[in-house]
Amino acid sequence: MENPLTPEVLADPVALTRALVDIESVSLDEKAIADCVEEVLRRVPHLSTFRHGNTVMARTDLGRDSRVVLAGHLDTVPLNDNFPSTMRGDLMYGCGTSDMKSGVAFALHLAVTLPDPRYDVTYLFYEAEEIESRYNGLTLVGGAHPEWLQADFAVLLEPTYGIVEVGCQGTMRAVVTLHGERAHAARSWRGVNAIHGAGEVLRRLSTYEARRVTIDGCDFREGLNAVRIGGGVAGNVVPDRCEIEINYRFAPDRDPAAAEAHLREVLAGYELTVTDAAAGALPGLKAPVAQEFLAAVGSAPRGKLGWTDVARFAAMGIPALNFGPGDPNLAHHKDEHVELTKIRDGAATLHRWLTPA
C-alpha cells in the first residue's frame, strides 16, 4: 500500500486525521497503520524511532530539563458501516474520528513539524487500547522497554472535546452469586428460587447514593450498577443459581482494596467475587509542566469520568491528563464524528504549549 501520509497531509491536522481514519485499524489489525506511521517518523532527522510489535515510539533528545509524552492509540473498535470517512460541512464522520485518530493526528503532526520543542518529547503510537489489557501496547512496552515511558508528564490524546480532563476513575467488576434449591415449577414450594433472591441485591444497587468527591478542584462522581444478570435452568424448573454482574466506578482517592471493601460493605451478606479491577489516577496538576499545559489551554480542567491509560502513567509516578478534540460521548457510535474546528484549535494549543518562548 502506498503511504497516504504525504508531506502535504502531515502539514494539515485535518487532512491527517482523515488519512488516518481511512487506514482500517481495528484492534489486533494495526500493522498497516503502524507501518505508515513508522515510515513517516524514520524519515524525520530530529527523531529517534523504534518499534515494538505494532507500537511505534519516536523521541527527541535535545537535552531539555523536562520530557513529556504525547500518546495515542492506533486501534479502533470494529467497523459499523462507518468506513471510510465522509465529510458533512464542519464534521468528519468515520470509525475512529473521535476515538482517537484526531488525537493521534495531533501527535504525528507535531512530531514531523516541530523540530525544536521547549521540552524533549516522546511520541507514542500504540496498539490495542480498545481490548483486553494483555494486548495493550503500553502494557507490552512497559514490560519490554519501560524506558520508553519515562517522562516528567504525559498527555493522553483521548477524546475530551477540547477540555482538559484530569486523572481518571478506577474500575471494578464483580459477581454476586445467589444460591437456591431446584424444584419442579408445579411444586415450587419444595425449592428455593435463586432468581427471586436477587431482589434485595437489586434494591440495594438501585437505591445506592453515588459518592461525589472533589480532588484538586475537580469533581469525580462514583457509580455502582448491575450490568448483567443470569440464571435459570429450564421453563419448568425453579432455578438454584443466579449471578449478577456489577460494575463499580470509584473516585481516584480510593485504591482497589478500599473500593472492594466498600463494595463488600454495600452487599454485606452476599457471596461476592471480584473479577477485574484497575486503579484510577489522581489529577496530578501540581507538576510545573502540567501547570504550563493548563495555561496554554486556558480553561479549567475537570475530572475524567471513566478509565484511561493515564492510570498506567500515574502508577509509574508520572502525572498525566487527557486532552483531545473528539467528543467522548460519540466514541464507539455508528455516527462517530469530530468537528474540524476542534482539530484545528487543539493542534494550535499543543503547538503553542510546545513551542519555545
Backbone angles phi, psi at 138, to 5 degrees: -70, -35
User: Could you give the CA distance from residue 210 to residue 327 in angstroms, rounded to a whole number?
Assistant: 25
Residue 89: partners with Cβ closer than 8 Å, 6 or more residues away: none
End-to-end CA distance of the chain: 41
Cell 466506578, residue located:
249
172-to-24, 136, 166, 255, 262 alpha-carbon distances in Å: 31, 18, 20, 10, 11
**133 contact partners, CB below 8 Å, separation of at least 6:** 139, 278
- Dihedral sign of CA atoms 148, 149, 155, 159 in order: positive
Beta strands in 19-163 (DSSP E): 48-52, 55-59, 67-73, 86-88, 91-93, 120-126, 153-156
Where in the sequence numbering do the catalytic residues fall?
Answer: 75, 129
Closest CA to 83 of 304, 275, 336: 336
Q: In which order are the strands placed within the sheet that holds 165-166? A: 48-52, 55-59, 120-126, 67-73, 153-156, 320-322, 165-166, 302-303
Q: At what angle do helices 13-21 and 102-113 cross, to 10 degrees?
A: 130
Q: Which residue has the cell 495555561?
A: 295
Task: Give the integer Cα–Cα distance in Å for 229 and 251.
Answer: 25
CA contacts within 13 A on the Cβ side of 39: 14
Longest dimension (CA), the chain: 82
Spatial contact of 45 and 38, defined as CB atoms under 8 Å apart: no
Q: Rounded to an integer, what distance in angstroms lies between the CA atom of residue 59 and that of residue 111? A: 8
